[in-house]
Chains A and B, each alone.
Chain A
Amino acid sequence: MTVTDPSTVVGLTASFTPQPLVRPLRAALESALESVLGDSATAEVLVADFNQVHQTLLDPASSFEKPLDRLLVLWRIEDVFSAAVTIWVIESGDASALVADVRQLGALVAQAAAAGVPVVATIPPVPEFSWLDPLDTRTSVRLTVLHGQLVAAFVDGIGQAPVTLVDLAALQRQHGSARAHDTRNDLMYHQPYTSEFAKVLGTLLGEALAQLGRPTPKVLAVDADNTLWGGIVGEDGADGILIGDSFPGNGFRALQQGLAYQAANGALLAMVSKNNEQDVEEVFDNRSGDMVLGRSSFAAKRVDWNSKADNIAAIAAELNLGIDSFVFIDDNDVELDEVRQRLSGVEVVKVTDEASEIAELTAGFKAFRFARVSQEDRERTAMMQIEADRKSAASGALSHEDFLRSLELTVRVFEPTEAHVGRVAQLINKTNQFNLTTIRRDEAEVAALVADGTHRVYAAEVSDRFGGYGLVAVAIVETGAERWDVDTFLMSCRVLRRGVEDAILACIAEDAAAVGATALRGRYVPSAKNVQVADFYTERGFSSSGEGQYDAVLPIAPAADHVTVLRDA
């Protein structure tokens, strides 16, 4: 009995709203874990704040409420690099800055993985735009080329770090973009997918997560008659078996091509056949022009009349591999059943008599589905981690501060006018998490406060080098002669953890000091959703002066220098 903690904690960060994926993801992960750990296996999925992929990668620990066993990174080019890629599609031009940004994102994924939590990340799909004809050939050719460059840059940025990649681009292609994408959901919820595709994607991700750390089946033990070729060589003769370019031999040829491809990717092939060895040798000699696999393709061969279970066990001993690294492929139910019963741990795959299923057989080997960059060999992984550490030290690991500086963040803090009242009221009524007091007001109340001489309303627009976020923060301050009281302070989650809140608070403090006030007071009113700002004021040097009430003496420290603050004259 091995003692394993049955609960797996997965942290999920995504450039879109990932919640519809969570249920199928957890179901697939739990069902895969159950086969290993038993029925008590449970999985918990924690979702990081929306579209905070960079921030989460820089600091996974503070993005989730508990330590993670796995980190899952889902991103799309058109979310993370929205402005840059949109401009590129519309106006063409140079994509080198975008390529560099994507490489940097790959490096961040590598950095998070090197820190110890196994990471699963998606290869992003070709960007989609609701306004673009997907069959617009000129653009689709350019987009395909750009996509290739960006995927290469992302993988290059990851380098040798232990990151498992899931090809979201391929999944979307296979499923059909039109059936995968839901423009209404994307516009309303930043959730780009149909419920049907969300289930498909969630399931695939759960399987990828379950696969982490699992030994990869390494040996494909294949039968010969009616598996590598059609017919029975002992009866039909080497010249009579079905293999080659024409139907139905072409189905078996496709199966051989699939096996050759698996072998090229690191699998070992073994032949396990009940035959006279002489007959099989004749096939290699006489049909080499039709066969894909030759004698040298097989790391081990057992062509005799012994039990196949015994032969597989003997091959395992010969190759010094565990029995659980074997996949057995045969058309005969009795053979399959014997191996299944006697060699528990061997995965068995049945070859049917349907040509299309034979041709597609190796495409269904999910065990080989998820690219593992250096996942196969733990020692190699450890070495590569050291290498990754060294490299990132040499190239200057990106700290959170470096990242913030690279964002070129600009915050414009201004007093809203009539034109802004609608947006301000909307933020006041829908912001739950970064909202210190959660006081709701309608447009008329906001307009009254804007006009009122005893209050000042602040709004902030934020942009960075990836694009603009619009009006995303609001503060309402009661302007006493001695002391200014912050009545409302809220911000959209889209710009969390970038120092925007500090820039706004600094502006308020500066304005208060400028008119002779000496103190600033803030309040925190707990709600079901705003625990993330419970320590907002104390973290900024305010001292508690009563239940949920915090005071600071003016002036307070200025905003961090990575933010460019623009004030209206």
Chain B
Amino acid sequence: MSDRLLEVFSEGLSIPVAELNDETSPTNTSAWDSLAAMEMVTLIEDEFDVRLKVAEIMKMRSIGLARTVLRGKGVEGI
């Protein structure tokens, strides 16, 4: 079963899924700049059909933290 969240980040960062994990963050990934962050907010909202508040976006400082935020919003299967 593929990881939908990793696929979203893979698209947003243009990095293969295999090179991403929950530790991936702006500090260890140069592609994760402010424009990529903006794009990923859109991708995440479209993929998981959620609306993120500013505070939630700010918490998403790694893929793992994004996963935590989305689970907290009731997104299942990630």
Contact = CB atoms under 8 A, between A and B. Distances in A.
Interface of A: 17, 19-20, 184-185, 187-189, 191, 195, 198, 430, 432, 528-529
Given A185-B38, A189-B34, A189-B38, A195 B46 contact: yes
16 contacts: A17-B35, A17-B38, A19-B39, A20-B38, A184-B53, A187-B54, A188-B38, A188-B54, A188-B57, A189-B34, A191-B38, A195-B45, A195-B46, A432-B33, A528-B30, A529-B33
A416 to B, nearest CB: 24
Contacts of A20: 38-39, 42
Give the 8 A-B CB pairs with smallest separation, nearest first: A195-B42, A189-B38, A19-B35, A528-B30, A195-B46, A191-B38, A20-B42, A184-B54
B69 to A, nearest CB: 15
Given A17-B35, A188-B54, 18 more contacts: A19-B35, A19-B38, A19-B39, A20-B38, A20-B39, A20-B42, A184-B53, A185-B38, A185-B41, A188-B38, A188-B57, A191-B38, A195-B42, A195-B45, A195-B46, A432-B33, A528-B30, A529-B33
B50 to A, nearest CB: 13
Interface of B: 30, 33-35, 38-39, 41-42, 45-46, 53-54, 57
Contacts of A187: 54
Contacts of B46: 195
A529 B35 CA distance: 13
Contacts of B41: 185
A185 B45 CA distance: 12
B36 to A, nearest CB: 9
A132 B34 CA distance: 29
Contacts of B53: 184
Nearest to A195: B42
A195 B49 CA distance: 12
Contacts of A184: 53-54
A432 B53 CA distance: 26
Contacts of B30: 528
A528 B41 CA distance: 23
A195 B34 CA distance: 17
Q: Which of A184, A185, A198, A430 has the most CB of B within 10 A?
A: A184
A187 B53 CA distance: 12
A22 to B, nearest CB: 10
Contacts of B57: 188
A424 B43 CA distance: 32
Contacts of A17: 35, 38
Nearest to B31: A528
